Amino acid sequence: MSCRSTLPRFAVNRAATRMASLHRQRVRRDGAADDPPALDLKDIPAALLPDVVAGWQRLMESEYESVVISGWMTGALARLGAPLDVLGAFGRVVEDEVRHVDVAADVLQALGATPTLPRDATPPVLAWRDDAEADEQAIAGMVAFFVIGELVSAHEFRHALNLVKLPIAQWALSEIHRDESFHGAFGFEAARLFVPDFKPVQKDRLRVRLTDELARFERRIGGPLEGPPRELSQRERDMAALGLPPPVVMLSVFYDALEKHVLPRLAELGVDLDVHVGHRE
């Protein structure tokens, strides 16, 4: 986050052209999605407001990062000749992630904040060289982002939904979660086309890459988790009710999803990861 904070920022613009009404239709799922419930700022303890704004701002930034990365992945998969059902699914992910940025921006505006994003925050993750390794790296990046990142995120959103009480935060989390619950599966289906045919040396490189990705994800949500399980503080419960569960909750969801979902799916791809799951004492 510290390097991001020095990047120039721009205000999110949701309606700049005549395509704005089409965008609005997509964001509201052609009328199937509700408008965001009204928010009375008096419902949010004043002492929590800065952290609530910062938390939703971070969530919007990570949705925007997903727009950039899923866009790249779609391009990379098209370039290496992936089937149309895969490309269609990935194109759908890009559309979903744009929608999630818009939904998070609604929450920020209701909180009285101006939604802003850092420019050029996401470093290019793919190798665009024309060599044999470029395809392998694109697939490895796709597995890291989708089979780990998106799959775990879906579980994080589901758990956050159990704890949220503020109506507009509940609306936003459920709008995001309904899409996220498919994204990890799309990545896994795409990975099944490519990864089982990797040579042993390519699988070794993938293992290293994915082990790094797990550590990065764990750090990103505030880990590793130190010490034995503990009760949440009142402030942590209040933040979770506003849609922002504390690191201790997010980490336990992460370890659980890793053990029950991520590692078994990677094993199905023929990639066994030797990671030790759970909190560290």
Residue 145: half-sphere exposure toward Cβ, Cα within 13 Å: 26
Where do we find the tokens 């999110």? Answer: 12
Q: Give the residue with the Cβ less far from Fe ion, 66 or 137.
A: 66
DSSP, collapsed to helix, strand or coil, labels residue 116 as: strand
Minimum Å distance from CB 59 to Fe ion? 9
- Which residues inside 79-108 make contact with Fe ion, applying CB under 5 A? 97, 100
Minimum Å distance from CB 122 to Fe ion? 14
Examine residue 183 and tell whether it contacts Fe ion (CB under 5 A). Answer: yes
Examine residue 136 and tell whether it contacts Fe ion (CB under 5 A). Answer: no
Q: Give the residue with the Cβ less far from Fe ion, 154 or 225.
A: 154
Dmax over Cα atoms in the chain, in whole Å? Answer: 59
- Which residues inside 51-70 make contact with Fe ion, applying CB under 5 A? 63, 66
Selected range binding Fe ion among 142-150, 157-165, 204-212, 271-279, rule: CB under 5 A: 142-150
Q: Which letter does DSSP use for residue 36 in this model? A: P
Minimum Å distance from CB 94 to Fe ion? 10
DSSP, collapsed to helix, strand or coil, labels residue 14 as: coil
Q: Give the residue with the Cβ less far from Fe ion, 156 or 218.
A: 156
The enclosing H or E element of 57 equals: helix 49-79
Angle at 252 between CA 266 and CA 262, to 5 degrees: 10
* 116-118 and 9-11 beta bridge pairing: antiparallel
Where do we find the tokens 């550590």? Answer: 215
Amino acid identity of residue 237, one-letter, is: R
Minimum Å distance from CB 4 to Fe ion? 18
Minimum Å distance from CB 207 to Fe ion? 24
Selected range binding Fe ion among 15-23, 102-110, 133-141, 181-189, rule: CB under 5 A: 181-189
CA distance 101 to 155: 19
Closest CA to 206 of 260, 139, 147: 139
Q: Which residues pair with 9 in a beta bridge?
A: 118
Mark residues 148-167: x for contact with Fe ion by CB under 5 A, - for none: --x-----------------
Amino acid identity of residue 269, one-letter, is: L
Mark residues 9-48: x for contact with Fe ion by CB under 5 A, - for none: ----------------------------------------
Selected range binding Fe ion among 31-39, 115-123, 146-154, 252-260, rule: CB under 5 A: 146-154
Strands (E), 35-174: 116-118
Minimum Å distance from CB 154 to Fe ion? 8
Q: Give the residue with the Cβ less far from Fe ion, 63 or 238.
A: 63
| Interface residues toward Fe ion, by CB under 5 A | 63, 66, 97, 100, 150, 180, 183
